[in-house]
Amino acid sequence: MFDLVIISCEHGGNRVPARYRSLFSPRLLESHRGYDPGALPIARRLSSGIDAELHVALTTRLLVDLNRSLHHQELFSPPVKALDAAERQRIIDRYYLSHRNGIEQSVRREITDHRSVLHLGVHTFTPVRHGERRRADVGLLYDTARPKEYHVARQWQDLLRKGHPRLIVRRNYPYRGAADGLTTHLRALFPPRAYLGLELEVNQRHARKPHSAAVAGVLETFEDLVTRAADRGQ
């Protein structure tokens, strides 16, 4: 179903370049609005477990959200929107395009060699949003119009449910896999036979604990998923 895996983490850190440090308060940077707590260590452990290529962004999403399209209204936070156009373009060139173009080039290189790529974007989500408690431990996002993505997400969900029955694992929750994002952008560039884009969402009440059952289950079952794909390809 896929030949190799590329992993990315768009909201891995909350670093602020010195030029923009005055724009954000420490409290805001430490919140889930500043980054995805727990996403970076999960992405690194997933990558090392299967020896996959890893693309990580450590600059705060408040400067520019790497998982939004250039036209999206939430690409920039309000303080950055107040900057002039030339400064915003500088941010796009330096931080946004360098990350997204790197992943795009990696995918293009691999599928040029007639291989199919599973690209996994690693994220975490806040347990409560707008006063509503999210009812999931793990979310697997994909495009319902792409059968190969559906089958991979469904197989991963089944592995998680079988090995860790107490976890609530939902597909296309707490967000829709076909909503605006990096995977959606890449789907427009590459055919479904060659590119599979999934996003992993782990509840932050688990993601902040590196040895939680949810994190352990994600790591264990993803290795199993990749091994099974490799076995089928032999």
Q: 135-183 pLDDT, tens per residue?
A: 999 999 999 999 999 999 999 999 999 999 999 999 999 999 999 999 9
> What H or E segment, with its residue span, contains residue 195?
strand 195-203
C-alpha span between 83 and 89 (Å, rounded)? 10
Q: Which residue has the tokens 């939680």?
A: 212
The mean pLDDT value of the chain amounts to 97
Q: Which pLDDT value is given to residue 137?
A: 98
pLDDT at 113: 87
Buried/exposed 111-142: b ≥16 CB within 10 Å, e otherwise: beeeebbbbbbbbbbbbeeeeeebebbbbbbb
String of DSSP letters for 104-132: HHHHHHHHHTT--EEEEEEEEE-SEETTE
- DSSP annotation of 83: S
Token readout for 72 is 């999206």
State the architecture of 4-233 in CATH terms. Answer: 3-Layer(aba) Sandwich (3.40)
Task: Write down the pTM of the prediction.
Answer: 0.97
The answer to whether the Cα torsion of 33, 67, 18, 15 is positive or negative is positive
Sign of CA dihedral 212, 196, 171, 97: positive
Continuous segment of H or E residues that includes residue 102? helix 97-112
Predicted confidence at residue 130, as pLDDT, reads 86
